[in-house]
Amino acid sequence: MSDGATRRYQLVAGACSLLLITTAVGAFAVDLGSTRPDPVPFADTVKLGVTAETEQASQHRGASIPRVEVFYSQYRYVVGYAGVAGAVSALDEPGREQQFGYPLAVYASDYAGRSPRCENGTLTSATNPDWVSVTDAQFVVGSRASLAGESVVVPFSAADDASAFADDCGGRVVDWAELRRDPPAVPSAAGVESSLDDRRTRADRRASDAESLLDRETSVVVGRDAPTVQQAVTAAPPNTTVVVPSGTYAERVTVDKPVTLRGENATLDGGGTGTVIEVRADDVAVTGLTIRGVGNATRAENASESGDWDESIQQGYGGGDAGIAAHNVSGLYVHDVTMNTPANGVLLRRAPGAVVDDLRVYGTDEWLDGFMGVIAMNEAVVVQNSYVEGGRDGVYLHRAEGTVVRNNTFLDQRFGVHLMYTSETLIADNVARGQRGSGVVVMTRPTANAIVGNDVRHATGGIFVGGSGSYVARNVVVDTDRGLVSYATQTAYEHNVLYENRVGFAASSVVPSNRVVANDFVGNDRHATAGPGPLRIYTEDGRGNYWEGAYDLSGDPGSPTLERAYSPTDDLDRRFHRTDAAVTLSAAPTVRGLRAFRGTTPGLRRASIIDLSPLARPSNPDRLAAARNETRVEGSA
């Protein structure tokens, strides 16, 4: 070591020793468990629990949501849960006490004396409930009061009031200890993982059913049996095929009966005004057409800009121009269609069972000028094997629970796939390139989404996940500002490859409760960053993640894991793959002592990540090899 390097080492080591001494004195200055804190207004808590959609719908119906707030000994924030079951599940998460300390106090909404009722399955209360310590409460479980399809756990400070509610609304009365022993089920990442095959199978079945619409007998040929496409549709008997021969047809078409519109190298030109094909009947199929001349309206002219936000989205986004639009119909099949559009490609509003397959949409060069390749609202759809270039978002979902978006390519939008108030989706095996925002973005606190097998590269952001209880796995993210961004809770991130991003993983949720394991972090400027909150432990059952640069000088070279823990948020560890000097300094006894102390003291662990058993070798070698090779983007003109 040079004299200069030795001097720098001594200065840093001395500073670390001083930090060790001063923080050791301050860490135990206050006995946080000596008094029980009083409840705080729920608005002042870090709020978790039900989805934003459920909360808004409950408020609209005048429903009451039982709440819980938890004070932890080593966490500066009060954690609030909308729903008792979610709080119980969180308290029982592995490693919770190691990250947060022990619960100083847990309070629940007290419905005693509030005249609670359960009319039409909705819990209501004459006045807002107060708080009761959970150890002093009785809970009614299994009643007819429900929230998002699940029975609500209702707390009471008075046993007589709890019994009266159970008599009126069903269910049984239990205390806190029994509720902890036999907790209600809540959505989980493990449940989402186990549902993947079912979600794929349901999508396969829907696609197969829709494909059968292409087998209808031909009844009318445009130019032979009718002069225009619209007149041919009008003349065709239901459940037959209208053939549109090669050529360009300057018209807009309304399909108001169950027919198949089959183009043979044919183009429909709407003249730049309005929607080109409007579907007003069930079981319609559109195939083999090129559509152009779509109007440029991205919102309905009479859409309200004030009042209820959801209604504004429904009226505005659902009323723009599109190549194909379908409202309040079922069973639509869009197949082998090419569109050039300054607005929407396919607009689906309350269109259950719709399948979009082999669609090609070319939108605006500037995303602010255009709109959505496919927009689906209020019902689950399947979007597969398609290509969207330009425009605002490739696929935009609003309250479209259960949708499947798979095997698509998205190029040069704001977002590739954009979820709003949409749970239980499968976003799988898509390719995204050049997004100004993110390849995949999940907003508004949904639950139980699966984001698997996607390949996102050369975008500002990779995959942004909000909500809870989701499963994010086997994705490849390359060359983004932030590869995976987690605002989610109780979500599993596993077998992802984060390669050559500025930040591989950004842990942004204030309450860390996620499972992060068997991921590969290679070539990133920073492998991971953490926002405010206690320690995040990215290890499960003795197995962590692969972090390029993590080392172990004393461990068994044949071991699958390293003996030395690794922290991608540590000022030295995070530089291991960038400079050898960090490795040298990290081995210093004073630095090692500080880390050991910090690992046992929650007060020294805020805004940090640690992997207790980092992997010695990549967990996903084939996926990592694919990340290192550029994936060819198919489908562009």
* 167 and 64 inside one domain: yes
The residues with which 433 forms a beta bridge, in sequence order, are: 411, 457
Question: Is the confidence at residue 587, as pLDDT, over 90?
Answer: no
End-to-end CA distance of the chain: 58
The residues with which 80 forms a beta bridge, in sequence order, are: 47, 69
CA distance 627 to 82: 40
Residue with tokens 């004393």: 554
Tokens standing for 171? 């269910």
Element containing residue 484 per DSSP (H, E): strand 476-486
CA distance 114 to 158: 11
* 16 and 108 inside one domain: no
Residue 461 resides in a domain: no
Residue 392 resides in a domain: no
CA distance 33 to 63: 36
User: Mean pLDDT for the chain?
Assistant: 87
Strands (E), 228-386: 241-244, 247-249, 253-255, 260-269, 277-279, 285-292, 322-327, 333-340, 344-349, 355-362, 372-377, 382-384
CA distance 422 to 442: 8
* 73 and 6 inside one domain: no
- What are the tens digits of pLDDT across the range 316-342? 788 899 999 999 999 999 999 999 999
One-letter amino acid identity for 371? F
* 96 and 177 inside one domain: yes
Residue 407 resides in a domain: no
- What are the tens digits of pLDDT across the range 519-560? 999 999 999 999 877 788 999 999 999 999 988 766 677 889
Please give the pLDDT value at position 106: 97
Contact present, 619 and 520 (Cβ < 8 Å): yes
Domains contained in the chain, number: 2
Q: Which residue, 139, 154, 186, sits at the end of a domain?
A: 186
Dihedral of alpha carbons 182, 186, 189, 190, sign: positive
Compute, in degrees rounded to 10, the torsion defined by CA atoms 573, 577, 578, 579: 70
Residue 235 resides in a domain: no
Q: Which residue, 170, 186, 202, sits at the end of a domain?
A: 186
Instruction: Give SS3 for 632.
Output: coil
Residue from 250, 301, 296, 244 nearest 273 by CA: 296
Instruction: Give SS3 for 286.
Output: strand
Please give the pLDDT value at position 22: 28
The residues, ordered by sequence, that sit 6+ positions from 601 with a Cβ below 8 Å of its Cβ are 23, 27
Compute, in degrees rounded to 10, the torsion defined by CA atoms 454, 457, 460, 463: 20
Percent of the chain past pLDDT 70, that is, above it, reads 86
CA distance 90 to 164: 29
Residue 367 to residues 156, 299, 386, 389, 548: CA-CA distances in angstroms? 52, 15, 19, 10, 36
CA distance 164 to 144: 14
Residue 25 resides in a domain: yes
Q: How does DSSP classify residue 113? A: T
- What are the tens digits of pLDDT across the range 16-27? 322 222 222 222
Q: Produce one character per residue of 409-420: b if its CB has 16 or more CB atoms within 10 Å, e if not.
A: bbbbbbbbbbbb
Q: Output the pTM of the full model.
A: 0.87
Compute, in degrees rounded to 10, the torsion defined by CA atoms 109, 110, 115, 118: 40
Residue 242 to residues 215, 250, 474, 497, 620: CA-CA distances in angstroms? 12, 17, 43, 48, 50
One-letter amino acid identity for 134? V
Instruction: Give SS3 for 353.
Output: coil
CA distance 534 to 101: 9
Q: Are strands 67-72 and 46-49 parallel, antiparallel or unpaired?
A: unpaired
The residues, ordered by sequence, that sit 6+ positions from 633 with a Cβ below 8 Å of its Cβ are 409, 411, 431, 433
- What are the tens digits of pLDDT across the range 31-41? 344 478 999 99
Question: Is the confidence at residue 477, as pLDDT, over 80?
Answer: yes
CA distance 23 to 310: 49
* 87 and 132 inside one domain: yes
* 22 and 56 inside one domain: no
Region 382-403: mean pLDDT is 97
CA distance 601 to 386: 51
Residue 632 resides in a domain: no
Residue 74 resides in a domain: yes
Q: Are strands 526-530 and 355-362 parallel, antiparallel or unpaired?
A: unpaired
Please give the pLDDT value at position 599: 47
pLDDT band at 636 (very low <50, low <70, confident <90, very high): very low
Q: Which residue, 153, 186, 219, sits at the end of a domain?
A: 186
Percent of the chain past pLDDT 90, that is, above it, reads 69
Residue 19 resides in a domain: yes
Instruction: Give SS3 for 559.
Output: coil
Helices (H), 236-378: 309-317
Question: Is the confidence at residue 113, as pLDDT, over 50?
Answer: yes
- Pairwise pLDDT comparison (7 vs 60), residue with the higher score: 60
Dihedral of alpha carbons 76, 81, 86, 88, sign: positive
Please give the pLDDT value at position 305: 59
* 64 and 109 inside one domain: yes
* 46 and 21 inside one domain: no
* 71 and 173 inside one domain: yes
Contact present, 245 and 222 (Cβ < 8 Å): yes
* 3 and 102 inside one domain: no
CA distance 380 to 354: 8
Least confident of 62-66, 409-413, 420-424: 62-66
- For residue 169, give its domain range: 42-186
pLDDT band at 128 (very low <50, low <70, confident <90, very high): very high
The residues, ordered by sequence, that sit 6+ positions from 270 with a Cβ below 8 Å of its Cβ are 251, 252, 276, 291, 292, 293, 294, 295
* 66 and 146 inside one domain: yes
Contact present, 392 and 370 (Cβ < 8 Å): yes
* 85 and 137 inside one domain: yes
Please give the pLDDT value at position 311: 73
The residues, ordered by sequence, that sit 6+ positions from 320 with a Cβ below 8 Å of its Cβ are 297, 298, 299, 300, 343, 344, 347, 371
Least confident of 50-54, 196-200, 433-437: 50-54
Contact present, 75 and 534 (Cβ < 8 Å): yes
